Amino acid sequence: MSKIIEGLFYSESHEYVRVEGDFGYVGITDHAQHELGNVVYVDMPEVDDEVVAGEEFGAVESTKAASDLFSPVSGTVVEVNEALEDEPGLINKDAFENWIMKVELSDKGELDNLMDANGYKAMIGE
Amino acid sequence: MADEIKITCLHDKHVALGALMSPFAGYDMPIQYNGIEIEHNAVRKNVGVFDVSHMGEVRITGPEAEKFVNYIFTNDIAGAEIGKVFYGMMLYPDGGTVDDLLVYKMGENDFFLVINAANIDKDVAWINEQAANFDVKVDHQSEYYSQLAVQGPEAEKTMGAVLNLDCTDLTFYTHKEVEYDGETIIVSRTGYTGEDGFEVYASAPVIMKMWDLLIAAGVQPCGLGCRDTLRFEAGLPLYGDELTPEISPIMATLGMFCKLDKEGGFIGRDACAQQKAEGSAKKLVGLELKDKAIPRHGYEVLDGENVVGYVTTGYRSISCEKSLAFALVDRAVGALGNELSIRIRKKVFPATVVKKRFYQPNYKK
């Protein structure tokens, strides 16, 4: 059974956002990393990129396949998790600790479109 | 029901081992059991076993069997010793590839053809069509035969110790028939991994028994996921990616398996000769990226701003620890050392043309 953390916001495409003030840390869920298998590459956006809720912002790749990442929120990328460049497998170790990008949120109202922990739990059937 | 998914005799055993199952070539096949990397490394460093029962088998016999097989097959089997195995292709007259296959010489005018699962119906129809003018019998035996591949540096030892099959007398690309549990089975020193190894063709009950013995002995079960990463690193083509009705073996740089000068020629011979003489417009090359981004099938290959081809297979190579690809590109840009680039989603990454054999195979010749 995969780990789900209370207090985060979840998307149907298995990304999460942890909100701290005006910023959101975006990554993939533990369930998603488990489904993917060993992550061997993370295609991350660049600082200052604009991301849009529901639109692609990068990809996570296992040996077998690439999975597009969809941003759960809109805003400006202020930081990417550079540790993932050398060690993409960190996502498998702890997907919630190892976020992919930090976004300055342009519309916190968008968070209402996302699921809470219980909603996400129901969606993945756990 | 033509569209109903088929299963191999080992299907329940794969599920019981917790394999990730997925449809492949009309069969519900194991993609991985413990992870592609674990299974890949087991084959490179120790030994692994694959269920490849989805592969097709066709037996060709009759007074003109040798003449016929040599006519539909690019390699030259004329006068070969019994026990030899040949790799080659069947081609359309325009040089496009019907399939790549192994031909086992079982006896005088007696050949065993091993074909790709995805092509079974097409190949059997093609073979039967060509056979009309020859005095041969074409016997489609895919329903009877199941198949295991035991691959890796410890494969020979495993065949002897676990299956009681002494294979020390088999050299690379030879086979023998062995009596096993009251039936005649076929064992060859062949594979699709770039390592030493064996393939066994037998009835379902024998294959199920062998599988159980191998698993009980601790041999790593390996899925189609690592079968693809292993063959890719060793520079081996996969039908559908590197060979297609549009990609000839000359384009795929597999001309060494096309014996243009053999007696009687073969279907597609003239097209191959022309492509070889004039240089085919497209050519399969290896590409190496400095970056860690992963090229995948279908991604564009660029020379400056111009699209010059596409990736046929690509991986973050497990054994070479590099991002590597096969790509079909314009011949003009395919020289070794040439600098090209690959579009991966929104970005473009530099890639150098390199030899396709990324990993040096460890065959026991």
| pLDDT tens, position by position, B221-231 | 999 999 999 99
Q: How far is CA B282 from CA A31, B183, B242, B310, in A?
A: 43, 47, 12, 11
At residue B4, the pLDDT reads 86
Split at pLDDT 50, 70, 90, the class of B2 is: low
First to last CA, chain B: 44
Q: Which domains does chain A possess?
A: 9-108 (2.40.50.100)
- Inter-chain touch A41–B32, beta carbons under 8 Å: no
- Nearest residue on chain A to B346, alpha-carbon basis: A58
pLDDT of B61 higher than 70: yes
What CATH topology corresponds to B11-52+145-233?
Gyrase A; domain 2 (3.30.1360)
- Inter-chain touch B32–A37, beta carbons under 8 Å: yes
- Inter-chain touch B345–A85, beta carbons under 8 Å: no
* Phi and psi torsions of A101, nearest 5°: -140, 155
Residue intervals of chain B classified under CATH 2.40.30.110 are 281-354
The verdict on A83 touching B (C-beta cutoff 8 Å) is no
Tell me which residue of A50, A86, A55, A94 sits closest to A71, measured CA to CA. A55
pLDDT digits (tens, 9 = 90+) for B246-295: 999 999 999 999 999 999 999 999 999 999 999 999 999 999 999 999 99
What residues of chain B have any CB closer than 8 angstroms to a CB in chain A?
Answer: 31-32, 35-37, 225, 229, 292-294, 296, 315-316, 318, 323, 344-345, 347
Split at pLDDT 50, 70, 90, the class of B364 is: confident
High-pLDDT (> 70) share of chain B, %: 99
Asked if B205 and B213 touch (Cβ cutoff 8 Å), the reply is no
Mean pLDDT for all residues in chain B: 97
Residue intervals of chain B classified under CATH 3.30.1360.120 are 11-52+145-233
High-pLDDT (> 70) share of chain A, %: 100
- In the predicted model, what is the mean pLDDT of residues A9-31? 98
Predicted complex: ipTM over 0.95: no
pLDDT digits (tens, 9 = 90+) for A38-92: 999 999 999 999 999 999 999 999 999 999 999 999 999 999 999 999 999 999 9
First to last CA, chain A: 7
- C-alpha–C-alpha distance, residues A49 and B233, integer Å: 36
Q: How many CB atoms are closer than 10 A to CB B45?
A: 13
- C-alpha–C-alpha distance, residues B122 and B99, integer Å: 9
Question: What single DSSP character describes residue B238?
Answer: -
B54-130+248-279 CATH: 3.30.70.1400
Residues 6+ apart with CB under 8 A from B253: B283, B284, B356
pLDDT of B80 higher than 60: yes
At residue A24, the pLDDT reads 98
- C-alpha–C-alpha distance, residues B64 and B62, integer Å: 6
Amino acid symbol at B23: P
Superfamily of domain B281-354: Aminomethyltransferase beta-barrel domains (2.40.30.110)
Split at pLDDT 50, 70, 90, the class of A126 is: confident
pLDDT digits (tens, 9 = 90+) for B156-208: 999 999 999 999 999 999 999 999 999 999 999 999 999 999 999 999 999 99
3-state secondary structure of B308: strand
Residue intervals of chain B classified under CATH 3.30.70.1400 are 54-130+248-279
Q: Is B21 left (phi over 0), alpha (psi -120 to 50) or beta?
A: beta
At residue B1, the pLDDT reads 45
Q: How many CB atoms are closer than 10 A to CB B230?
A: 29
Asked if B311 and B258 touch (Cβ cutoff 8 Å), the reply is no
